[in-house]
A and B are shown apart, each in its own frame.
Chain A
Amino acid sequence: MSRPLYRWAYLATAVVLGGIFVYAASSKLVDPRPFVTIIWNYRLLPPGAVNGVAIFLPWLELLVGFGLIVGVRRRAAALWATALLVGFTAALLVNAVRGLDVACGCFSTSSEDTNNAWLLALRDLPMLAAAAWLWLFPPRAVEAPLEPTSRD
Chain B
Amino acid sequence: MPERRARAARAPAGPTTHRMVTFPTVSRSLLRDALLYLIAALVLGAGANLVPARHLAWWGQGLQPPTVGVDFQWIDAFAADALRSALPDTVFVDTRTPEQHAKRRVPGAVQLAYTDLAHELTPALESRLRDASAVVIYGASQETDVEQLLAQELHGRGLAPPHVLVSGFDAWELSGLETAGETP
Contact = CB atoms under 8 A, between A and B. Distances in A.
B143 to A, nearest CB: 4
Nearest to A74: B33
Interface residues of B, number: 56
A111 B58 contact: no
Contacts of A27: 115
A136 B16 CA distance: 23
Majority secondary structure, A binding face: helix
Q: Number of contact residues on A: which range applies?
A: 35 or more
B7 to A, nearest CB: 6
Interface string B37-60: 110111011101100001011111
Interface string B140-176: 1111111111000000000000000000100000000
Contacts, number: 149
26 contacts: A30-B116, A34-B146, A34-B149, A36-B60, A37-B65, A37-B146, A41-B145, A52-B59, A55-B46, A55-B56, A57-B41, A60-B41, A73-B37, A77-B37, A101-B142, A103-B143, A111-B144, A111-B145, A112-B96, A112-B143, A135-B25, A140-B21, A146-B7, A146-B8, A148-B14, A152-B15
Interface of B: 4, 7-8, 11, 14-16, 19, 21, 23, 25-26, 30, 33-34, 36-38, 40-42, 44-46, 48-49, 54, 56-63, 65-66, 95-97, 114-117, 139-149, 168
